[in-house]
Amino acid sequence: MAAAVDDDVAIVARINEFIERHTQADVARRTGTPTTSIWRYVNGGKVPASFCAKLVREMNVNPAWILVGEGAPSLLDAPRETSAMAGSILDLATTLNAVGKLKLGSLVGKDHLKTVRELHNALDAYDKVKHDLNERSRGALGDVLTRLRGALESGGRQTASSLLQAAKQLSRLCLDEALLQELAVLEGRYEFEFGDFDRALDLERHALAQYMTSRRELDDAFVTNVHAFVITLRRHHRYREALRMARVAADLVEDHASLHWAFHEFSVLAATSETSLGGIRAGLSRLNEHLPLCRDEFRRLWSGAHIAAQLYAGVIPLREDAALPLATGQLAGIYLPFARLTDDPTYLGKLYKRIEKSDVMDDASFQRHLVPIACLVEAVTGSYRSALKTFDRFWDDQRSQGRVPRNDVAEAMIDIDRATLLRYGGRGTEARTLCQHLSQRISNLPSGVEVPLLHLAYHHINALKLPSTKSFQSERSAATAFFRERVNKGYLVFRSLTASA
């Protein structure tokens, strides 16, 4: 209630401020409001919304200003500001024209001092105009960036697109490094949400490079920015670039005593990418060395990566889930994908029932692990058609909520799960066709992106377990080679699959 009273008082104060520029009679005439009512409003009477609407319609009062005090008092002030900025641009053109008239040869001779003085004055005028344009554009650009951030958060693509174009035009006049860096970040977010993900990554790379070159010393913000970029790369299956970035960052901070903790954290990030790319022995060794030396919160968040590496290496055998507290979402999210390597629907069914009784079922972030397993179990023990409908409905919903990256790898992973579902449902011919199609898609992926190792394993398990045909021999041979190569590199979790191959 106190806030409402304060708003009433503030609105009355702004009405008084506005009327000081006019007269009560003029306001009464133009808004069609009795003069006695105007007098009452000015002296603290309750101001009706209809009067505020008349001020906006008839006298061009800015509604944001009259209600909450934001922006200029008049809607006409923005065009005036634009005109002033345009005048500055005209001054800039005039200045540059004056510079252009100065011939280089005129700097030599008896009048050279006069010419140099004219050049000096012209450049002074140019600097003044640049400063003026920067001052005028800074506030406008900051306002547009605030609105752009809000549009991105609300998912308004059309509004965000218009604001982004306006911000890019204003940025040509603004010299404020912080605002320009913020624009680069927001443009990256726009491309990430609505446009080209590769361009979004390029913008993030550029913004990160600008951040690094604009500072003499590395700091916590550098660590945060690089950390976030590495996570983005991994989330979008660019493991090799994530590995390079983490290694470079670790080298940069290694000799900074105040950031020595960051050296260990970047080493952990590099190790997780190594385990994804075939380097399980080196990756697990680095995790064992560096993870205990990280900050508590980081160590807690990335302990799952350590468990995953141990599962890959066979240190934690499959089917040892009884020893793992799967009631916690992080462990369930790590172990469930590995459990699928057993290719045993009975075991998966028991595991799902165990987890179904825990709080993990309420965690939306782990549904992408739980739902495919539930569908696989249902395809064997219940209705295949029902399982397929559940599977398709789930991923359609995930796409609509923006939880599926818009790239070829994410869609290939979903289709690998679909092929497994077809196989479990007894649709061998359909599963083989999809499996062959997936092999082509995986081999034709853009350079720098890779299907995650576990999903590659699911794909090759399908190739091994589906009934063989002459046209399917290449898929079976590739699967056999895949598992033998990984076991030789230390991925002992695949050892049983080499026996079946």
Following CA atoms 408, 411, 417, 423 in sequence, which dihedral angle do they give, to the nearest 10 degrees? -80
- Kindly state whether residues 303 and 383 are assigned to the same domain: no
Question: Taking 80 as the threshold, does the pLDDT of residue 329 lie above it?
Answer: no
Q: What is the mean pLDDT of the chain?
A: 82
Evaluate if residue 4 carries a pLDDT over 50: no
SS3 label, residue 432: helix
Q: In whole angstroms, what is the distance from residue 315 CA to residue 318 CA?
A: 9
Which CATH number fits the domain that encloses residue 67? 1.10.260.40
The verdict on 382 and 406 lying in the same domain is: yes
Looking at the fold, whether 119 and 237 belong to one and the same domain comes out as: no
Looking at the structure, tell me whether residues 282 and 376 fall in a common domain.
Answer: no
Q: Is the dihedral of CA 437, 441, 444, 450 positive or negative?
A: negative
State the Cα–Cα distance between residues 287 and 292, nearest whole angstrom: 8
Q: Which two tokens stand for residue 164?
A: 């982004």
Q: Rounded distance, CA 473 to CA 479, Å?
A: 10
Does residue 323 lie within any of the structural domains?
no
Euclidean distance between CA atoms 326 and 332, whole angstroms: 5
Token output for 394: 């789930």
Residues 264 and 171 in one domain: no
Q: Is the pLDDT of residue 9 over 50?
A: yes
In a domain, 210, yes or no: no
Are residues 290 and 379 both part of a single domain? no
pLDDT band at 406 (very low <50, low <70, confident <90, very high): confident
Residue 488 within any structural domain of the chain: yes
Q: Is residue 26 part of a domain?
A: yes
Give the integer Cα–Cα distance in Å for 37 and 45: 9
Q: How far apart are CA 129 and CA 481, in angstroms?
A: 68
Question: What is the reported pLDDT for 343?
Answer: 92
How many helices (H) and strands (E) the chain has is answered by: 24, 0
**Domains held by the chain: number:** 4
CB 355 within 8 A of CB 330: no
Residues 6+ apart with CB under 8 A from 64: 70, 71
State which residues form the domain around 28. Answer: 2-74
* H helical segments located in 172-279: 177-194, 197-213, 220-235, 239-253, 260-276
pLDDT at 271: 97
Chain center to CA of 64: 31
Do 169 and 188 lie in one domain? The reply is yes
Q: Domain end: 273, 288, 316, which one?
A: 316
Top pLDDT among 327 and 210 is at 210
Indicate whether 356 and 476 sit together in one domain: yes
pLDDT at 471: 87
pLDDT of 264 above 90? yes
Same domain, 161 and 235: no
Residue 118 covered by a domain: yes
Distances, alpha carbon 39 to alpha carbons 12, 34, 46, 63, in Å: 11, 9, 11, 21
Residue 284 domain-assigned? yes
Residue 435 shares a structural domain with residue 461: yes
Amino acid at 4: A
Same domain, 486 and 362: yes
Higher pLDDT, 319 or 433: 433
**pLDDT one-digit tens code per residue, 160-213:** 888 888 888 888 878 888 888 888 888 888 887 776 777 888 888 887 777 776
pLDDT 10s digits, 371-405: 888 899 999 888 889 999 999 999 988 888 777 87
Q: What is the SS3 assignment for 358? A: coil
Residues 76-95: tens digit of each pLDDT: 554 455 545 555 555 555 55
Structural tokens at position 280: 């399980």
Verify that 338 and 288 share a domain, yes or no: no
Give 145-181 as a DSSP string: HHHHHHHHHHT-HHHHHHHHHHHHHHHTT---HHHHH
Q: In this predicted structure, what is the pLDDT of residue 491?
A: 97
Tokens linked to 310: 């141990």
d(CA 483, CA 216): 48
Report residue 256 as tokens: 């900074």
* Structure token pair of residue 330: 């992080």
- For 279-308, how does the pLDDT look when each residue is reduced to its tens digit (9 = 90+)? 999 999 999 999 999 999 999 989 989 999
Q: Tens digits of per-residue pLDDT, 207-235?
A: 777 777 666 677 787 888 888 889 889 98
Question: Which among 401, 420, 412 is positioned nearest to 446, based on CA atoms?
Answer: 412
Count Cβ neighbours within 10 Å for each residue of 161-193 and write b for 16 or more, e otherwise: eebbebbeebbebbebeebbbbbbbbbbbbbbb
Q: Is residue 254 part of a domain?
A: yes
Give the percent of the chain with pLDDT over 70. Answer: 82
- The total of other beta-carbon atoms located within 10 Å of residue 419's CB is 26
Q: Is 251 exposed, middle or buried (0-12, 13-18, 19+ CB in 10 A)?
A: exposed
The dihedral formed by the CA atoms of 370, 348, 380 and 501, expressed in degrees to the nearest 10: 110
Query: Among candidates 457, 449, 455, 442, which has minimal Cα distance to 487?
Result: 457
* Closest to 384 in 3D by CA, of 426, 345, 340: 426
For residue 60, give the amino acid letter.
N
Task: Flag whether 80 is in a domain.
Answer: yes
Q: Is the pLDDT of residue 328 over 60?
A: no
Query: pLDDT tens across 106-141, in order?
Result: 555 555 566 566 666 666 766 776 777 777 778 888
Percent of the chain with pLDDT over 90: 33
* Residue 174 contacts residue 180 (beta carbons within 8 Å): yes
The span from the CA of 435 to the CA of 239, in Å, is 24
Tokens 């009884």 belong to 322
C-alpha to C-alpha distance for 309 and 287, rounded to whole angstroms: 8
**Phi and psi at residue 61, in whole multiples of 5°?**
-70, 135
